[in-house]
Structure 1
């Protein structure tokens, strides 16, 4: 039996689904302070018992940030001369939203309906990192070895901004030393074909506030006499983009959309969402793929003035907008808010305050899509599945990839095992069984090739790919 046959048999037997069911049953909601015991339980009761028989030396570490969730580091070192692969995932999930799930479904009970496996975490991210762990287990069971060194890092706070993860990586740099990060999160571009992305857009969330006075005042008595903070805020927001959402802040317009990146993005299938996209929205002259994977986008996440739930005849004393810039490499994250301050001041909106909570930011990262590890991994996935993977320079969303790409200095290759319609972060979250089956085959084939030396993205002093990578 080949490795890929063994992977298919593991899924078809129901053993992988049973493992996923045990994982989904742990209500590891990192956004709920009361769920702290469950965050630890996921590591102690699901992952450590899974990894120990595979020869991994696992330890649960306290988070460097007081009160933040624990972090698991498990290692299997076969030979220091072999390639070392760092694998990342997160075992925490978003709030369950139990009351909003469809009848017959429960967030912490895995339910199979047709090709769908419903449960909180089935797609984000328990199902994804369990595919990778199961692939490692298959390789060990079939060969008695991996043929490379593996390090597994599982955090329990990704859904709250990965507190302490970067500090942990910095403190444990030697323990986390590797040749490459191979991790899985986010959606594929198409559910029936593997996707590779090499980084992620950054995210900067902030508030714009106009606070003119305490309390509200009668709109009849004072209309025309008191400045309206909501109107001022609306006008200030309108100078950040034009009417179609194209960014007007000069420093927010990136210069990293190179001809090579445009070539890669042009080869992708159309962006699909299951609903109609706005054709005349965003930066003019860019394709939809270029707008979401190669450019910056500004969004107003929330607006508040007065009492929206029960309006009264009064001019509010203050107004607030929660805003976000999604940005690609080539945008200096330290310059985002100073640039906005200058832009608003120049437009006459000095009274608009910029507040930076600083607790939900992610940096932008992108590995060269022609890096040897990207090329080698793509070729291995194609050999395992018979399908050439879609290649994205970066995910449109955000991930804590800076911890690996910058703090640890690793080439980063992400292979997602979900799809855009999975209801991630919403009621009725689900994974697709055929997608997980194909992913298990793909990752078993990839790890098998790394183990036998056919897939190796390490380079020698001249920067050329080593001959043993088989290319």
Structure 2
């Protein structure tokens, strides 16, 4: 097939219901890496769902235990067609967040794919099952219709991204040769706008931590002890209030990045408007600069007493789980020490700072001027009929540092989701129009790589 025919075949796969049928099988697998999950389901996703598909495509498939005790499994699939061709590495994660079925609206279940109009509901429909499924199916389409890829491909699937890609970096160090490639082309995160493709070359980092005030064992009657015993919830709230001002502007100097340089601001200048609160965040930054070029602090959860059945008592302790999303230029090793110094300076030595469970994500960016980046941008523009939004980094967090710092690869992400998809919460869903165009874009991109394989390999050298 030529390029136009391949794009049409990609469209037919989605419009005929093929994508929904394949996705439904993956959504049904309860491959949860968080507290609701079972290890056997993580293994089953790789062994029973992905391995047969990849073997049928002519890939050699290897499954691995995680190098860290208690970690989730990983899969590497390899198809080498010629030593002088470029090698594209594709990534995906088959694990999902807790289902939290009680939070989904009536008529929806997290592990049953449900289509309503152009929306496909289910856990993993946005993050990340549909995204790597689209890319793998695009590769399969080329193999089926052309008899070959025209380049080499490797696929790495992990099952612990939702817990910080636990063990992934150690696995990459031990398997550098197995994972050697010329470029990473993967999909995760959302498009900036529903009707326009997006590509980004890095991600904000993410570090979660707990703030704990533990003053005494047990609770004490609020009448008998009110005004006598310090309230840990009030102390914790006061401490948190020093971290930002009333509009969320960060007050810890070490948490304020220096990497929002004129060239980055220029890249972010012409992006479409984003949904935002006008009186929230850095007052002298645009919404795009706040989310792609700056750090943000969030309180993810607060706990003191029983909110569903409050008692007339002063709690003995209070806890908050917090998070800093941070860009390149923020020293990850200084985040918590800087917070400790800040709390002590402001009179809160009783607030304990404790790292949360799970791995932290490093912040990364990759040059938009790299030959592979320019090539992918040109391919997407040709296929979509309009240029993509090109971002220096995703606002969310990904294990991108494992690819840039350990494997030394240029990294290009082409997301097939949208910002309002409900990932990590109830009613997660994908949009069929984005999935359709994503399938077409990736099929055409892989065909373009095949047609330009020799020159791409030469330019990489």
Structure 1 length as normaliser, TM-score? 0.92
**1:355 equivalent in structure 2:** 354
Distance, in Å, in 1 between the alignment partners of 2:147 and 2:153 is: 14
Aligned to 2:293: 294
Q: 1:187 aligns with which of 183, 187, 190?
A: 190
Between 85-94 and 38-47, report the one with greater CA deviation: 38-47
Q: Distance in 2 between matches of 1:67 and 1:210?
A: 30
Tell me if the contact between 1:83 and 1:456 (Cα under 8 Å) persists in the aligned partners: no
Are 1:376 and 1:456, in contact at CA under 8 Å, matched by a contact in 2? Answer: no
User: Structure 2 CA distance, aligned partners of 1:287 and 1:455?
Assistant: 42
Question: How much has 1:115 moved relative to structure 2?
Answer: 1.3
Query: Corresponding residue for 2:84?
Result: 81
State the partner residue of 2:174: 171
**CA-to-partner distance for each residue in 1:255-307, whole Å, 9 max, x for gaps?**
111111111111110113xxxx3211111100011111110011112222334
Q: Name which of structure 1's ranges 293-302 and 223-232 shifts more when overlaid on structure 2.
A: 223-232
| Residues in 2 aligned to 1:34 and 1:168: alpha-carbon distance in whole angstroms | 22
Q: Which residue of 1 aligns with 2:374?
A: 375
Stretch moving more, 428-437 or 328-337: 428-437
Tell me the residue number matched to 1:406: 405
Any idea what the Cα deviations from partners look like across 1:90-144, whole Å, max 9, x if unmatched?
1122222334434443333323222122222122111110110111111112222
Q: Is the 8 A contact 1:373 1:458 kept in 2?
A: no
Instruction: Quote the offset at 1:153 in angstroms.
Output: 0.5
The size of the alignment, in residue pairs, is 458
Is 1:232 aligned to residue 231 of structure 2? no
Alpha-carbon separation, structure 1, partners of 2:370 and 2:27: 36
RMSD over equivalenced CA pairs, Å:
2.0
Deviations 1:224-276 (A, max 9, x none): 3333322222222122111111011001000111111111111110113xxxx
Q: In the alignment, what sits opposite 1:309?
A: 308
Structure 2 SS opposite 1:442:
helix
Q: Distance in 2 between matches of 1:156 and 1:49?
A: 17
The 8 Å contact of residues 91 and 155 in structure 1, kept in 2 or not, is answered as yes
**Do the aligned partners of 1:197 and 1:393 also contact (CA within 8 Å) in 2?**
yes
Describe the superposition over 1:11-70 as per-residue Cα deviations: whole angstroms up to 9, x where unpaired.
233323322222222222222565322222222222122111221001111111223221
Q: Is contact 2:151-2:453 (8 Å) kept?
A: no
| Partner SS, residue 90 of structure 2 | strand
Contact 2:381 2:387 in 1 (8 A): yes
Structure 2 residue ranges without an equivalent (≥5) = none
In structure 2, distance between residues paired with 1:446 and 1:456: 15
**CA 1:459–1:315 in structure 2 vs 1: closer, same or farther (change >3 Å)?**
farther
Post-superposition shift, 1:76?
Answer: 0.5
Q: Which residue pairs with 1:142 in the alignment?
A: 145
Change (3 A) 1:141 1:427: same
> How far is 1:328 from its partner?
0.5
1:333 alignment partner in structure 2: 332
Residue 333 of structure 1 and its aligned partner are, at CA, apart by: 0.3
Structure 1 residues 231 and 21: CA distance shift in structure 2, 3 A: closer
Query: Is the Cα contact below 8 Å between 2:30 and 2:37 reproduced in 1?
Result: no
The 5 A counterparts of 1:27-426 are: 27-32=30-35, 35-272=38-275, 277-426=276-425
Inter-partner Cα distance in structure 2 for 1:125 and 1:162 = 13
Secondary structure of the residue aligned to 2:63 is: strand
SS for the counterpart of 1:169 is helix
Secondary structure at the counterpart of residue 366 of structure 1: coil
Unpaired segments of 5 or more residues in structure 1? 467-471
The SS at the match of 1:199 is coil
CA contact (8 A) 1:244 1:282 kept: yes
Return the offset for 1:458.
6.2
TM-score by length of 2: 0.94
When residues 9 and 455 of structure 1 are mapped into structure 2, their CA distance, relative to the original with a 3 A threshold, is farther
> Which of 405-414 and 354-363 deviates more?
354-363
